[in-house]
């Protein structure tokens, strides 16, 4: 059945009759057909890319000043060579990893086929490989590739229906249920990622919404006076500010707590410090700031 590509018109234009006459195919026969489809796919992609060379070269010309030394590599001949290499690599990836991916997808689909009473993995694999035909032939063409994918899904439904002797309703359920489950999983992962991102943003906002700044620090008669400003957008609760003098935590500045956003607080330390240089460090939940003070 899969000796050549002459069956492609039958698949595309008369799928019901095609699947009605089709018998279960071996994995080897399906792989041979997939290799042929892959070759057609990469060749069409190569032609499509060549048709877009003019647009590509216009982009290269506009970016000539930016890409500089590598611009010769992006000339017409360079782009042609790149497309040749890309086409060869794509072909080998399709006939290896691509077919492995199809087997995995078929296995997942067959789980639901089995639940609904179908038997024979090769039948399911046949429906999936045939269903890939529109995408392999037309998937490289912009916009057309979207409709090709949808039509391929229809072919897969018809294939499952005919090969497993399912009603069309049961076949639709078998094919769509795993897609819906996959969509829900992807949606949940996206939602979870978004929530984590928003949570991290909120955490950052919480840390940066109350930012301490030392407006002034002076020392008279051994008493260090601090003027602290909350330049953030949130108030700082009681206990949110700590003052260190020469690296040691000081409890003299409790009157600095709490401090409203966009406002200042003044406090004078109780402890008398020796004359000379002292390092004052003020910390909040989001930042810290140092200031050197000289006492008389």
- Residue whose tokens read 């500045």: 253
What number is the average pLDDT over the span 210-228?
Answer: 87
Buried (b) or exposed (e) across 141-153, using 16+ Cβ within 10 A?
A: eeeeeeebeebbb
Structure tokens that stand for 239 in this block: 């206990």
Average pLDDT for the chain: 84
pLDDT at 18 over 70: yes
> pLDDT band at residue 169, thresholds of 50, 70 and 90?
very high
In this predicted structure, the answer to whether residue 182 has a pLDDT above a threshold of 80 is: yes
pLDDT band at 273; cut points 50, 70, 90: confident
Higher-confidence residue: 120 or 270? 120
CA 222 – CA 242 distance, rounded (Å) = 20
Out of 61-65, 88-92, 121-125, which region has the weakest mean confidence (pLDDT)?
Answer: 61-65
CB 261 within 8 A of CB 210: yes
Instruction: Return the domain boundaries, the chain.
Output: 5-193, 210-295
* pLDDT (0 to 100) of residue 251: 83
Q: Measured between alpha carbons, how far is 202 from 183 in angstroms, rounded to an integer?
A: 28
Of the candidate CATH numbers 3.40.50.300, 2.60.40.350, 3.30.1960.10, 3.30.420.10, the domain formed by 210-295 belongs to 2.60.40.350
Q: What is the pTM of this model?
A: 0.63
Tokens found for residue 50:
């060549």
What is the mean pLDDT of the segment spanning 107-123?
Answer: 93
Q: How far apart are CA 243 and CA 232, in angstroms?
A: 18
Separate counts of helices (H) and strands (E) for the chain: 11, 7
pLDDT, position 151: 93
């Amino acid at each position: 059945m899969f000796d050549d590509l002459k069956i492609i018109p039958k698949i595309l234009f008369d799928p019901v009759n095609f699947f009605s006459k089709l018998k279960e195919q071996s994995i080897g026969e399906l792989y041979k057909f997939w290799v042929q489809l892959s070759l057609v796919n990469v060749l069409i992609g190569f032609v499509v890319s060549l048709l877009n060379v003019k647009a590509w070269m216009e982009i290269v010309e506009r970016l000539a000043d930016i890409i500089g030394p590598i611009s010769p590599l992006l000339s017409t001949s360079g782009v042609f060579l790149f497309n040749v290499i890309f086409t060869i690599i794509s072909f080998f990836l399709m006939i290896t990893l691509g077919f492995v991916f199809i087997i995995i997808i078929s296995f997942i689909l067959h789980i639901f086929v089995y639940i609904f009473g179908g038997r024979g993995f090769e039948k399911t694999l046949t429906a999936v490989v045939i269903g890939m035909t529109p995408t392999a032939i037309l998937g490289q063409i912009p916009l057309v590739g979207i409709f090709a994918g949808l039509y391929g899904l229809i072919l897969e439904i018809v294939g499952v229906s005919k090969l497993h002797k399912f009603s069309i309703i049961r076949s639709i359920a078998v094919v769509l249920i795993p897609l819906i489950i996959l969509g829900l999983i992807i949606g949940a992962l996206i939602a979870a990622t978004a929530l984590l991102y928003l949570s991290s943003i909120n955490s950052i906002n919480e840390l940066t919404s109350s930012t301490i700044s030392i407006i002034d620090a002076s020392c008279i008669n051994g008493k260090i006076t601090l003027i602290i400003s909350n330049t953030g957008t949130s108030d700082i609760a009681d206990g949110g500010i700590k003052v260190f003098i020469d690296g040691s935590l000081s409890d003299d500045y409790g009157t600095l707590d709490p401090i409203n956003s966009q406002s200042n607080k003044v406090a004078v330390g109780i402890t008398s410090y020796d004359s000379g240089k002292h390092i004052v460090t003020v910390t909040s939940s989001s930042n810290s700031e140092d200031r050197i003070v000289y006492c008389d």
